[in-house]
Chains A and B, each alone.
Chain A
């Protein structure tokens, strides 16, 4: 099992880097997110010891970028028919799912690695709260993980990468902006419960907790559960497709 997911991981990662895909995605990501950091996030006009300008809009940027990473993972296998090849290999389905998910997550790590010069630069020239920045990076890594898992799941439903991209984009954007506050308020629980429920299911709440430097178990549980649940559903959906 351990070796087999590594094989899939290696193959998918190489596939990213040997084609044009990785280079296009990586450059698009870094240019887009730095542009937003400097011109929309107000890098210069804010106190940026925690790199808040960089982190604040990341979920939205990732909602655009990650579907491009995950779109072909399953749908292209289905389109070219290689899924039949892959599923008749003597490896458990879960390790295929895991390998593909981890390779897309690794791709996100590469994207974030491109922004680390900014972190170093901040340390060299300006005031920096490194612990806070570290927690910000943990935040985007968790967000990217949950987005990748969702992207993989959606890709497994679609037989064309383009459809997969658009669907993932829609769902991830919804996921970024979903705020169930008013929905829960209609249920007329006590306000404390309403507030708790709505913030618990709100990505922005958890993400802001992390990037402002107050990581809690609830935040980590939120993202990890999304990952586990999506990967579980992903396995189920492929199993279902097989028949």
Chain B
């Protein structure tokens, strides 16, 4: 599978990524490639380095060593053009509480340099797809958790990014919302790259075509959910996850 990927057009390449916070090695020598049309799930227990890895991929944090390239461009040297292709939804609190949903979307679009007819079209799309119509003029701080999350995703999608990176996107959503979000993301990810971090197995099964398993900052497994299941045929995927993470320790 990995070898197959290499042959295909590699869109995101992470090479020997390391990130240290003081003495703690948050990400330790991670290598992977992701190509178009893939929905990748970053799996791992809390503190495994998922968020750090995402920050490295979005250029928010700079790697201690190693490099990331996106569509053949180095993230460090051509930061701005790389970031243009990425939509990123961090895990918590990335929304301006005082702004209304529409203002926030408009602001994001402005930052991305999207205006005029393009903005109107994208705006209408994300509002419709993420069902934000009812709260469009409401202040973000007055929204429920589900709406907040979807506003964040809408802001990340306003420029139709090639790469969508979501940190725990379905947390705090009710089952219905989870379902509709997943199906939307799935359809969106057909010709794009989506990277989702999660520690919920159910989500991996529902969406991801590929799983990257992290533990203690190290890449433990890079397979598909089916393979993960097949490796441990007697168990479901959650047990597999448990087994793998405890094995490494």
Q: Do chains A and B touch in the complex (CB under 8 A)?
A: yes
Chain A residues at the B interface, C-beta cutoff of 8 Å: 3-4, 7-8, 10-11, 14-15, 18-19, 80-82, 84-85, 87-92, 242-243
Give CA–CA (A81, B86) in the complex, Å.
19
Report whether A81 and B81 are in contact in the complex, using a CB–CB cutoff of 8 Å.
no
Give CA–CA (A7, B96) in the complex, Å.
15
A-B residue pairs, 8 tightest by C-beta: A81-B93, A90-B83, A85-B94, A7-B110, A90-B84, A89-B111, A88-B58, A90-B80
Given contact pairs A3-B113, A81-B90, A84-B90, A91 touches B80 in the complex (Cβ within 8 A): yes
Residues of chain B lying within 8 A (CB to CB) of residue A11: 107, 110
Closest CB in chain A relative to B94 CB, distance in Å: 4
Given contact pairs A88-B58, A91-B111, A80 touches B88 in the complex (Cβ within 8 A): no
Which of A3, A19, A81, A91 is the one whose CB lies under 8 Å from B94?
Answer: A81
Which of B59, B88, B94, B110 is the one whose CB lies under 8 Å from A82?
Answer: B94
Which of B55, B98, B112 is the one whose CB lies under 8 Å from A18?
Answer: B98
Residues of chain A lying within 8 A (CB to CB) of residue B96: 15, 80, 82
| Chain B: interface residue total (CB-CB under 8 A) | 30
Closest CB in chain B relative to A4 CB, distance in Å: 7
Report whether B94 and A15 are in contact in the complex, using a CB–CB cutoff of 8 Å.
no
Give CA–CA (A30, B199) in the complex, Å.
54
Report whether A82 and B80 are in contact in the complex, using a CB–CB cutoff of 8 Å.
no
Residues of chain A lying within 8 A (CB to CB) of residue B108: 89
Q: Closest residue of chain B to A8, judged by CB?
A: B111
Closest CB in chain B relative to A82 CB, distance in Å: 6
Verify if B206 is at the interface (C-beta below 8 Å from A). Answer: no
Given contact pairs A80-B96, A82-B95, A87 touches B111 in the complex (Cβ within 8 A): no
Residues of chain A lying within 8 A (CB to CB) of residue B82: 90
Closest CB in chain B relative to A38 CB, distance in Å: 35
- Most chain B beta-carbon neighbours within 10 Å: one of A4, A11, A80, A90: A90
Give CA–CA (A4, B60) in the complex, Å.
18
Closest CB in chain A relative to B46 CB, distance in Å: 18
Q: Closest residue of chain A to B92, judged by CB?
A: A81
Closest CB in chain B relative to A204 CB, distance in Å: 38
Query: What sequence of 0s and 1s flags, for each residue 65-94 of chain B, a beta carbon within 8 Å of any chain A beta carbon?
Result: 000000000000001111110101010111
Give CA–CA (A57, B98) in the complex, Å.
34
Report whether A90 and B81 are in contact in the complex, using a CB–CB cutoff of 8 Å.
yes
Report whether B60 and A242 are in contact in the complex, using a CB–CB cutoff of 8 Å.
yes
Residues of chain A lying within 8 A (CB to CB) of residue B83: 88-90
Name B36-60 residues within 8 Å CB distance of A. Answer: 55, 58-60
Given contact pairs A19-B98, A242-B62, A88 touches B88 in the complex (Cβ within 8 A): yes
Residues of chain A lying within 8 A (CB to CB) of residue B90: 81, 84-85, 88
Verify if B120 is at the interface (C-beta below 8 Å from A). Answer: no
Report whether B98 and A84 are in contact in the complex, using a CB–CB cutoff of 8 Å.
no
Verify if B97 is at the interface (C-beta below 8 Å from A). Answer: yes
Closest CB in chain B relative to A73 CB, distance in Å: 13
Verify if B61 is at the interface (C-beta below 8 Å from A). Answer: yes
